[in-house]
Amino acid sequence: MRILDVITKKRDGFMHTDLEIHHFIEAYTKDEIPDYQMAAWLMAIFLKGMSIEETAALTMAMAKSGNMIDLSAIPGVKVDKHSTGGVADTTTLVLAPLVAAAGVPVAKMSGRGLGFTGGTIDKLEAIAGFKTTLSQDEFIRILQKHNVAIIGQSADIAPADGKIYALRDVTATIESIPLIASSIMSKKIAAGADKILLDVKVGNGAFMKNVKDAITLAETMVHIGQLVGRETRAVLSSMDEPLGQAIGNSLEVEEAIAILDGRGEKSLRHVCLVLGAQMLNMAGIESDVNVGYKILCELITNKTALNKFKEFIAAQGGNVDIVGNGKKLPQAKIKTRVVCTDEGFIQKIDAGQLGYCAMRLGAGREYKGQKIDLSAGIMLEQRVGDFVKKGQLLCTIHGNDETRIKEVQELLANAITIGNDYIPKTKLILGIIDQRGFQAT
């Protein structure tokens, strides 16, 4: 088949066959198709869209473009969790040991952050000695012994997605639901999980800015899962304000430890427990998600989850002393307090703006491959709906560059809005999407 004919077909709004999609992806992976033709096809998809069946075919073609991890040697139902990205979203660091402690094998492939959204691998690398690069044999061995393992994304896994994503990033084709959905699901399927739980973020600190688009993306991924034989479920969660208090890599590791130790931010804890209860349900551990929620609460209370976190860190070469001593994590040299200049209720905390501030401090990347400052970030002290008095602490900036700290101080003035009107607390969980469709909570 001629590549030009495939591009023309989608340009004119017609559906592709599975064979056309698989041939296009295979040829591009082998460098038999130039970037300009792939870019043209991506733009045609961006403008004309794809059916669920086409998106599923694209997903599987990308998943099969490299190695497929086989987790069949691991007993039990393996449930993977993926977040679409947000600010102060430390859920993986809490969920992995917590759900593993409840008896569900957690085998995760995670990525690095780009821009204002944090990456799990960057956070884990704030722990001295922690290995995020493992062979498949090491990964499976650790998983068999400890029930939990997290590795960085490998070039061998869904390489077509890696090439296509880099091209989408520079051709204005990022914001396409079929392309986003197939990118996420291809990596999840290639990573070998039996079932997939998606945490789809919605709000000013997420890629999906409104509920309608978030539901469409979630339903697309759930349907893809059904079509390829992987049960998939999605939770819609708010990202209109940062999920946790900590924004920044070592700060977020400390916050995850606090949650597992029964302390820490209540909003982050609640979202982790809701996601964890869904994972227990999907794995067949507990049919009632409310009971699953309580089971996970008890694992935090009796320190089982915290001990599993220590075991997980040690298994991948990390320094477990960080659990009892946060100063073993990278520490910023300068800590600058930001206080309230007014009195009233917190009306808004712009998650996207705070994520940008953390990035400017060095906690995130402005371009791929940029070295980040693992100690930099922001520690929030207030949430939307809180009443604050003049002089009360709003947040603390952690950084090592005085010029950037001063820049961030000015930006924070516009990121946290205070007014006289009472504002209710943010609704954290907006709904669940499964094979039955969207159910509001």
Answer yes or no: 294 catalytic.
no
Catalytic-labelled residue, pool 22, 23, 78, 82: 82
Answer yes or no: 436 catalytic.
no
Q: What percent of the chain has pLDDT over 90?
A: 76
Catalytic-labelled residue, pool 65, 182, 183, 267: 183
* Range 331-419 classified under CATH 3.90.1170.30: yes
Catalytic-labelled residue, pool 23, 187, 195, 360: 187
Tell me the C-alpha to C-alpha distance, in Å, between residue 171 and each of 84, 175, 185, 290.
21, 11, 22, 45
Residue ranges per structural domain of the chain: 3-49, 79-324+429-440, 331-419
**pLDDT tens digits for range 230-261:** 999 999 999 999 999 999 999 999 999 999 99
> Quick one: pLDDT at residue 118?
60
Instruction: Say which residue, 110 or 15, is predicted with more confidence.
Output: 15
> Quick one: pLDDT at residue 84?
85
Answer yes or no: 82 catalytic.
yes
What amino acid occupies position 192?
G
> Quick one: pLDDT at residue 73?
87
**pLDDT tens digits for range 20-29:** 999 999 999 9
Catalytic-labelled residue, pool 80, 89, 122, 161: 161
Answer yes or no: 386 catalytic.
no
Answer yes or no: 375 catalytic.
no
**pLDDT tens digits for range 28-64:** 999 999 999 999 999 999 999 999 999 999 999 999 9
Instruction: Say which residue, 437 or 354, is predicted with more confidence.
Output: 354
CATH topology of domain 79-324+429-440: Pyrimidine Nucleoside Phosphorylase; Chain A, domain 2 (3.40.1030)
What is the CATH architecture of 3-49? Up-down Bundle (1.20)
- The number of angstroms, rounded, from the C-alpha of 392 to the middle of its chain's C-alpha atoms is 32
CA dihedral 48→53→58→63, nearest 10 degrees, is 150
Q: Grade residue 87 by pLDDT with cuts at 50, 70 and 90.
A: confident
DSSP H helices, 206-288, are 211-227, 249-260, 266-282
What is d(CA 229, CA 195) in angstroms, rounded to the nearest whole number? 9
What DSSP line would sit under 158-225, residue for residue? SHHHHHHHHHHTTTT--S-HHHHHHHHHHHHHHTT-SEEEEEEEESTTSSB-SHHHHHHHHHHHHHHH
Catalytic-labelled residue, pool 9, 168, 188, 195: 168
- The number of angstroms, rounded, from the C-alpha of 107 to the middle of its chain's C-alpha atoms is 15
Q: Grade residue 206 by pLDDT with cuts at 50, 70 and 90.
A: confident
> Quick one: pLDDT at residue 414?
86
> Quick one: pLDDT at residue 231?
94
What amino acid occupies position 180?
I
Of 407, 119, 384, 380, the C-alpha closest to 264 is: 380
**pLDDT tens digits for range 110-126:** 766 655 556 888 899 99
Sequence length of the chain is 441
**Model confidence at 153: pLDDT above 80:** no
Question: Does residue 264 come out as left (phi exceeding 0), alpha (psi in the -120 to 50 range) or beta?
Answer: left
